[in-house]
Structure 1
Amino acid sequence: MLLHTTTWGEGDRIALLVHGIMADHRTWRRVGPALAGRGYRVVAVDLRGHGASARAGAYTAHDFADDLVETLPGGADLAVGHSLGGLALSLAAARLAPRRAVYADPAWNLPAGEDGYRGELFAGFKAATREAVAAMNPRWDAEDVGIELETLKVWDETTAFGLEPLAGTDLLPPEPVVPSLVVLADPSRLVSAERAALLRERGFEVRTVRGAGHTIHRDDFGGFMAALEGWV
């Protein structure tokens, strides 16, 4: 599926941005312009079922990855994926072949069990109120809370059910197919300290943004950009 894209900047270098579940390109409202200011042409997608991209009958991790390959240019200088976007990017990395990849709190291990990942619970966020979004994300500013409400309106909540088969599955890549940085929340529910150590053993660089929640670039934009130093 060809995805809707949004572009910032006209630089010679290309950066790709892939958002997480429930979001769309607007989650990168500060990151996109910041990278454009560093000389990148920044291309951000709306994943299938999100934003202005089409709805679909299937929402598997491989569907999301295949869409990235169909839509985005190969050989970009930088590719950044958050959460579900990080998982999709890792599955597409060998085909997209960016020069560098950054995985922001990637969904490489969705918790299983009674308190684990459930599509029904995530789908319920479709009806979240402003007060609920602000309470869940106390470090977000009012603009990001408003954007979240707008993205929820156009989000196909059935995307949440497509990820249920992955709950409890260890999806850590066996190796980085391109030089790769993993930026983690503090703490990360998706990449434990033990798995972070394993990623380092496998050749990934791993950095943590202290005190940041899962959506690192919205919780602590300055900390997120600082964590990218040497990679952008």
Structure 2
Amino acid sequence: MRLATRVWGHGPRTAVLVHGIMTDSRTWNRVAPAIAQCGYRVLAVDLRGHGASAHAATYTPAELAADLIDTLPPAPDLAIAHSLGSAALLLAVPELRCARAIHCDPAWLDRPRDWDALRAVKRAGWAELRAAQPRWPDDDITTEQRALTTWDPASVDALRRLPGLPGAPAVPSLVMLADPSERIPPAEAATLRRGGWFLRTVRGAGHTIHRDDPAGFLRGLRGWLR
């Protein structure tokens, strides 16, 4: 499936951004311009069932990865993904052939879920979102509520087939973690380090690091925007 995209900047290098579940490419609004200023043309997708992209009959990380390969330019200089988007990027990297990859609090591991509660977020109102995300500016809450209007709750099914903890990275890769991370616990983080992954923790940030602490997120990219 070809995905809807959003672009910032006109730099000579290419960075691609992949959002997590329930949101869309606008989730990067606060950090994409800063990445573009480092000399990148920044291209962010709307995953299937999100934003301006089409809904689908099925949702798996493998299908999300195939969509990235169908949509994104080959061999981007940098790929950054969050949560479920990181599961898709992990599977897409060998064929996408990005030079470097950054996975932000990635959803790679299965964990207990209340599936009905996740789907019910579709109906969340502004006040509920504000209570759930106290650190976000009001306009981010409004943007997230708008994203929910186009989100297909059936995409929650993709979380049932997560790829698991990977072995050695296919390209130089950074895992940026929340503090604490529920997605990558300490033992698994240690396994990733031993396997050749670089890890950084953004102190005090929640799961959506780039929205909870945009400045901390951008500091976490130091050395990776070269």
**TM-score, with normalisation over the residues of structure 2?**
0.97
Q: Structure 2 matches for 1:168-179, cutoff 5 A?
A: 171-179=164-172
Matched, 1:136 2:129: no
Deviation at 1:30, TM superposition (A): 1.4
CA distance in 1, matches of 2:90, 2:59: 16
Report the identity percentage: 51
User: What SS does the corresponding residue of 1:38 show, helix, strand or coil?
Assistant: coil
Match of 1:3 in 2: 3
Q: 1:195 aligns with which of 188, 205, 214?
A: 188
Structure 2 residue runs without a partner (length 5+): none
* Residue pairs, 1:153-172, within 5 angstroms: 153-166=149-162, 171-172=164-165
Alpha-carbon distance between aligned partners in 2 of 1:157 and 1:228, rounded to the nearest angstrom: 31
The equivalent of 1:57 in structure 2 is: 57
| Deviation string, structure 1 residues 25-57 (Cα, Å, up to 9, x no partner) | 000001211111111000000000000001110
Aligned to 1:90: 90
Structure 1 runs (4+) greater than 2 angstroms displaced: 161-166
Aligned length: 225
Within the alignment, does 1:105 sit opposite 2:105 as a pair? yes
Contact 1:118/1:161 (CA < 8 Å) preserved in 2?
no
SS at structure 2 position matched to 1:230 = coil
SS at match of 1:175: coil
User: Where does structure 1 lack aligned partners over 5 or more consecutive residues?
Assistant: none
- Superposed CA RMSD: 1.0
Q: What's the CA shift string for 1:138-187, capped at 9, x where partnerless?
A: 11110111111000011011101232244xxx611111000000000011
Query: Counterpart of 2:180 in structure 1: which amino acid?
Result: P
Q: TM-score, normalised by structure 1?
A: 0.95
1:133 match: secondary structure: helix
Could you tell me which residue of structure 2 aligns to residue 226 of structure 1? 219
The answer on whether the counterparts of 1:75 and 1:97 sit within 8 Å (CA) in structure 2 is: yes
Provide the C-alpha distance between the structure 2 equivalents of 1:150 and 1:16, rounded to a whole number of angstroms: 22
Matched, 1:42 2:35: no
CA–CA distance in structure 2, aligned partners of residues 97 and 162 of structure 1: 23
Whole-angstrom distance in 1 between the partners of 2:81 and 2:110: 16
Residue aligned with 1:3, SS? coil
